[in-house]
Structure 1
Amino acid sequence: MKKWFKNVGPGVLVSAAFIGPGTVTVCTLAGVEFKFALLWALLLSIIACMILQEMAARLGIITGQGLSEVIRNEIKNPIFRTLSILLIFAAIVLGNAAYEAGNITGAVLGMSAILPSYMIEFGAISINLWSLSIGLIAFGILAIGNYKVLEKIFIGLVGIMSFSFVITAIIVKPDLLELVRGLFLPSQGNAGILTVMALIGTTVVPYNLFLHASLVSEKWKGVTALKIARKELFWAILLGGVVSMAIVVTAAASGITNVYSAADFAEGLEPLFGSFATWFIAIGLFSAGISSAITAPLAAAYVVQGCLGWKKGLHSRRFKLVWASVLLLGMFFSSLGFKPVAVIQFAQVANGILLPVVAIFLFWVVNKNTVMGEYTNTLRQNMLGLIIIGITVFLGAKSIYSVFQGF
């Protein structure tokens, strides 16, 4: 057991990254609006997440490099390489800056459910003190620049999230038959394709593929670590999936009818379970927001580092400048008081649309003998990978079509 805990790390960070305010919000809305009908979409996304993240982890261990670094080295055509790097920059770096506002706001919503908000006036601008405080906490944790410290913090945060949401799901006593039916009998019900896409996008997060490959390349060296990395990844993502499902179950079984923010979710549970349920959700939401507020800037920094060929290391000044810029942008926009729910939903849909693009890049490099040697994808891994890419391309195309139909 002691040895297993020693090897816990990258997989937990991946789970912490996808169990953010986006997951809390999207899963809450899915449970409120469609009850248990979309649990199958979460199950699919958990399986897809395990398969794709295993490829990313294998790439990081075998090559000792991050995904963006391998892409930069393997695309020989200068025009195509430049276009690919620009695509990755736009999708991951700028996207993460936008997500960061939602992450910090999500943590603020958790605090606001149990503590009053404080506003600081700067002329015509009102800044939420909690946004600044949470941003500074994330800044301090990242500034430490110690990977082992980051691991311990995330293990603690994932533990708090798991306890908070799973216990609350048990308290609501869901209909087990309906739960099993929603889990194993795919049905879209009255849900739009964008809702299904958001659920997938909130679990299989494109930036996690970059983050995971970079993290394992720093934590482990040599192919002997592959077995440990796979086992750690499986249990970490399974735990994250259980937490996501717990949020859907809680929302579906609690009788909430209107949710405009994750804070409403906590308030909706209070008449049924008293202040304890509110505390469970508030602490879980705060942990989700803080964890994602750390991983999003970290992932952006790893992407830039790999794309531009910078020297590896958490202590690099340029590395710190990237994550600090993403974090400061998130703090700024969060403190202005924008409503996070619509932005968070849009971000998850965007994640789902971007996913096949990043997955195709990953699929391509893990099948190159010059990169992976004997550890290229097996026939089974390729079949599963192609099925996942096919499903995400189909859903992405349908979601884009749905958006254009709305105009």
Structure 2
Amino acid sequence: MPKLSLLTPFKALGPGLVLAAAGIGAGDVVTATVMGAKFGTQLAWAMLACVILKWALNESMARWQLATGSTMIEACMKRLPRWVSQFFFLYLLIWTFSVGASLASACGLAGHSLFPQLPTWAWGIIHSVMAAALVWGGKFDLFERVMKILVGVMVLTVLVCAILLKPDGLELLRDLFWPSFPPNSGKSVLTIFGGIGGSMTMLCYDYWIRENAWTGPSHRRAVRMDLLLAYGVTVVFAVALTIVAAGCNAVVTQGNGMALEVASRLESALGPVGHWAFLIGFWCAVFASMLGVWQGVPYFFADFMAHRRNAKQPPAEVTQYKNTRVYRGYLLFLAGTPLVLLFANKPVSVVLLFTIIGAFSVPLLATLLLYLNNRRDWIGELRNRWLSNIVLAIALVMFGWIAVTEILGVLAK
């Protein structure tokens, strides 16, 4: 009989931590630190509310796969109008350029901040090649272990910095569970809901639970606990960042430079240890996000190509996609092509199209889950209950409002 310990239940969990690491990228770091510098922890409630909605979306997607054995992409292509999958395919291509370049730039900045001997663009290329090589040559078990290490170091370093700054515990609890709107905070609340917790990376979870051999309704509880762990880590990390930014009196700067500003301020407040701990945590966050995207996103393209109308018989298991030319070809495309944007500004038309399509991706997902997961003949006993439908409806309204706000803001410029 195998030995059991208090850690045994947690060792079985894994895809959730991978999801947390992939979803917490440079954008989340910048968003949380800017909110902390502007409002302290007063918007912590928005971060908690955001991850609850993202948890509901991800749990519904996972429930669909456990019940039907098919991914969301397969469901879109087989059960919905053709324009839905075409919309996703267009968004995937644009997202690849925009997010791939952003991650390369963030990793380049993180690498340069730790080892300034090489320029930012060189570190961006090095990180992209390292991530692609690890995904290409390594098995999922290795990928999962690396991601767990990165997310562990990421959360630990930032959390220690936050504790050393001695935040007011009662004030933090109030800000977490009692919504408030400080002056001029409306746009910031929308930014939190639009950024924290990822968007496209949520779809990766469908493939990662299959890699973990979680199939069938019997794994519903494991998935729920795993996702609670994932989004628990996300909210702890995001709130810790706001505490750090507020505690060190950081000044808001543009883009990824916000992380360097916080690290500089921490050196004054906590000494060199605080400075280097935060930079290491920032590096772990952005590289884990890159590694998760490089490993997970090629699944989307391979899944799409496997189920198009004139496709040959798709692989029997989704986990076999990694060995296909389509998966590996898109991995190379993802890791290589966006690096060109490191040396040039993104065209205005690409930014506009990305904003418009991307803004509607989460509301569209919520709509799909309200439709698909209420069909008893498709999903059976795992169909939505009334509480799931209420939360998904709230997510649809909230993220739909954010989508309209984002588009109007871009068009007004």
- Once residues 349 and 266 of structure 1 are traced to their aligned partners in structure 2, the CA distance between those partners, rounded to angstroms, is 34
User: Does 1:38 pair with 2:38?
Assistant: no
User: Does 1:23 pair with 2:28?
Assistant: yes
1:231-268 deviation line (CA, Å, top 9, x unaligned): 12111210121011111111112111233312222122
- Once residues 217 and 370 of structure 1 are traced to their aligned partners in structure 2, the CA distance between those partners, rounded to angstroms, is 23
When structure 1 is superposed on structure 2, of 304-313 and 32-41 the one drifting more is 304-313
Aligned equivalent of 1:375: 382
Q: How does 1:264-283 map to 2 (within 5 A)?
A: 264-283=261-280
* Residue in structure 2 matching 1:242, options 236, 247, 264: 236
User: Does 1:9 pair with 2:21?
Assistant: no
- Residues 34 and 191 of structure 1 are in contact (CA less than 8 Å); yes or no, is this contact kept in structure 2? no
- Once residues 4 and 137 of structure 1 are traced to their aligned partners in structure 2, the CA distance between those partners, rounded to angstroms, is 32
- Report the CA distance between 1:21 and its aligned residue: 0.8
- Once residues 180 and 72 of structure 1 are traced to their aligned partners in structure 2, the CA distance between those partners, rounded to angstroms, is 45
Q: Sort the Cα spacing of 1:100 and 1:62 in 2 relative to 1 into closer, same or farther, 3 A.
A: same
- Residues 107 and 287 of structure 1 are in contact (CA less than 8 Å); yes or no, is this contact kept in structure 2? no
- Residues 197 and 352 of structure 1 are in contact (CA less than 8 Å); yes or no, is this contact kept in structure 2? no
Q: Sort the Cα spacing of 1:248 and 1:329 in 2 relative to 1 into closer, same or farther, 3 A.
A: farther
**TM-score (normalizing by structure 2):** 0.86
**Partner SS for 2:301:** helix
Aligned equivalent of 2:64: 59
Aligned equivalent of 2:303: 306
Q: Sort the Cα spacing of 1:192 and 1:400 in 2 relative to 1 into closer, same or farther, 3 A.
A: farther
User: Does 1:91 pair with 2:98?
Assistant: no
Aligned equivalent of 2:341: 333
- Report the CA distance between 1:403 and its aligned residue: 4.1
Query: Which letter does structure 2 place at the counterpart of 1:189?
Result: P
- Residues 71 and 365 of structure 1 are in contact (CA less than 8 Å); yes or no, is this contact kept in structure 2? no
Q: How does 1:335-354 map to 2 (within 5 A)?
A: 336=343, 353-354=360-361
1:177-206 deviation line (CA, Å, top 9, x unaligned): 442333233233244544323212222422
Aligned equivalent of 2:221: 227
**Partner SS for 1:257:** coil
- Residues 41 and 243 of structure 2 are in contact (CA less than 8 Å); yes or no, is this contact kept in structure 1? yes
Higher relative contact order (CA 8 A, sep 6+): 1
* Residue in structure 2 matching 1:356, options 347, 363, 386: 363
Q: Sort the Cα spacing of 1:93 and 1:153 in 2 relative to 1 into closer, same or farther, 3 A.
A: farther
Aligned equivalent of 2:331: 323
Aligned equivalent of 2:78: 73
User: Does 1:205 pair with 2:198?
Assistant: yes
- Residues 94 and 354 of structure 2 are in contact (CA less than 8 Å); yes or no, is this contact kept in structure 1? no
Aligned equivalent of 1:123: none
Alpha-carbon RMSD across the aligned residues, in angstroms, is: 2.6
Structure 2 gaps, min length 5: 1-5, 308-313
- Report the CA distance between 1:70 and its aligned residue: 1.3
- Report the CA distance between 1:350 and its aligned residue: 7.5
- Report the CA distance between 1:277 and its aligned residue: 1.2
- Once residues 140 and 11 of structure 1 are traced to their aligned partners in structure 2, the CA distance between those partners, rounded to angstroms, is 23
Identity %: 23
- Residues 251 and 261 of structure 2 are in contact (CA less than 8 Å); yes or no, is this contact kept in structure 1? no
1:124-151 deviation line (CA, Å, top 9, x unaligned): xxx7221121112101111125111111
- Once residues 356 and 274 of structure 2 are traced to their aligned partners in structure 1, the CA distance between those partners, rounded to angstroms, is 29
- Once residues 187 and 364 of structure 2 are traced to their aligned partners in structure 1, the CA distance between those partners, rounded to angstroms, is 18
- Once residues 41 and 52 of structure 1 are traced to their aligned partners in structure 2, the CA distance between those partners, rounded to angstroms, is 17
* Residue in structure 1 matching 2:283, options 282, 286, 289: 286
Q: Sort the Cα spacing of 1:350 and 1:188 in 2 relative to 1 into closer, same or farther, 3 A.
A: farther
- Report the CA distance between 1:170 and its aligned residue: 0.9
**Partner SS for 2:271:** helix
- Report the CA distance between 1:64 and its aligned residue: 2.1
Aligned equivalent of 1:181: 174
Structure 1 gaps, min length 5: 120-126
When structure 1 is superposed on structure 2, of 240-249 and 188-197 the one drifting more is 188-197
**Partner SS for 1:113:** helix
- Once residues 55 and 206 of structure 1 are traced to their aligned partners in structure 2, the CA distance between those partners, rounded to angstroms, is 14
Aligned equivalent of 2:294: 297
- Report the CA distance between 1:169 and its aligned residue: 0.9
Query: Which letter does structure 2 place at the counterpart of 1:263?
Result: L
Query: Which letter does structure 2 place at the counterpart of 1:382?
Result: N
**Partner SS for 2:116:** coil
Aligned equivalent of 1:130: 123
- Report the CA distance between 1:61 and its aligned residue: 2.0
Query: Which letter does structure 2 place at the counterpart of 1:92?
Result: L
Aligned equivalent of 1:122: none
Q: Sort the Cα spacing of 1:317 and 1:40 in 2 relative to 1 into closer, same or farther, 3 A.
A: same
- Once residues 226 and 6 of structure 1 are traced to their aligned partners in structure 2, the CA distance between those partners, rounded to angstroms, is 17
Q: Sort the Cα spacing of 1:225 and 1:99 in 2 relative to 1 into closer, same or farther, 3 A.
A: same
- Report the CA distance between 1:369 and its aligned residue: 2.3
Number of aligned residue pairs? 389
- Once residues 140 and 250 of structure 2 are traced to their aligned partners in structure 1, the CA distance between those partners, rounded to angstroms, is 40
- Once residues 230 and 381 of structure 1 are traced to their aligned partners in structure 2, the CA distance between those partners, rounded to angstroms, is 13
